[in-house]
Amino acid sequence: MRRLRWYWGALVLACVALLAGFFVFFGSESKPGQPQPRQGPPGTGPLTVVAMGDSTVSGEGAGQYTAATNGQGGNWCHRSPNAFVEKVAVPGVTAHVNFGCSGAPAEQVALGDAKQWTEGSQAQQLAALVKDHRVAAVVIAVGANDEPKFSNQVNECFKAWFNAGGPPCSTALKQTWQSKVDAMVPKVAKAVSDVKAVLAQAGYVPADYQLILQSYAAPIGPDLPEDLRTLNGCPFRTEDLRWIAQTGIGVLSSGLKAAAQQAGARFLDLAKAGLKHEACSGGANPATEWFTRLTLQLADLGHVERAGHALQESFHPNAAGHAAIANCLTEFVAAKEGNATCLAGADGKLHAVPEVVAR
């Protein structure tokens, strides 16, 4: 019996010694002096939120454009201090950087030689930024200027309003819109993946930052006062506005969500963000609107180099719209994971409503 006791005692001691060796080799959470996981992004400089993409990011329509992006040297990126990235409030973030450029396609956001209004790759601009900034989040909105060519479609719908005897613009769009969006998806996914590659090259791992792809809000809705369905505000046919708001924007958002999934980014859906705040929806009170009506800069018509941009601000989020989007984006960043939809709450503000994932 004594021998058996000795045997079990020796076995227990051997197990204790083995476990002690295991914790010495692999470390223990309570061991003094053990390196702790780094807090936040690598590098030096201010903690920063970066926005990349096209006019919905740059601040087109929000006014007060920086001189360097308001036609100077041919640069019409129209970056505004009222853009949503400037209004996002994230704990610890002290810097806000906007690389957005009006009219930018996905190719100009990605790595490569594509330029938009004299500016080179936004991903390459990010590569330069991380040398002296610590990036906490990157928000991207792009794709509408690729195959969907959203501004071109708005022009076609404008022409259809003029030509009352012809078909509405949505007649043709119904046949081609899905294929246009499908062709856009891989281009957006590549642009988002290139942004990830830039940060990985700089030593970032996915846990260091948030990568967000957001979609677009419908700038005009179908329920407009008839006296504003003119050159005084929103010259479009009701059936075209209904198709854009109820179908077109939704299909575009679904395509962008697919691109986000392919590239490993979070997705923020803005398809219904402008509901009841679209251009012309306020009637005699445009202060309630989050999007610009048909806007013509008359002063620009007297200058050859500016005349072609006199309508550029039309049907984009205005300063109030960007502030509303910033509120939703702030909540989305705070959530740290998952997808969400920007929807208006009882308080009149946009909130990030988490996506319910079926299990």
Q: Which residues are annotated as catalytic?
A: 55, 316
Compute the distance between CA of residue 18 and CA of residue 255 in angstroms, rounded to an integer. 55
Which tokens belong to 331?
């909540």
Closest to 181 measured CA to CA, from 118, 120, 258:
258
Q: How far is CA 218 from CA 40, 266, 300, 302, in A?
A: 35, 21, 27, 32
Contact 114, 187 (CB under 8 A): no
Compute the distance between CA of residue 83 and CA of residue 320 in angstroms, rounded to an integer. 10
Q: Which residues contact 61 (CB under 8 A, 6 or more apart)?
A: 55, 291, 292, 295, 313, 314, 315, 316, 317, 318, 321
Which tokens belong to 21?
């060796």
Compute the distance between CA of residue 103 and CA of residue 22 in angstroms, rounded to an integer. 58
Beta bridge partner(s), residue 352 = 342
Q: Which residues contact 56 (CB under 8 A, 6 or more apart)?
A: 100, 141, 144, 216, 316, 317
Residue 133 DSSP SS3: coil
Which tokens belong to 42?
């690598």
CB atoms within 10 A of CB 142: 31
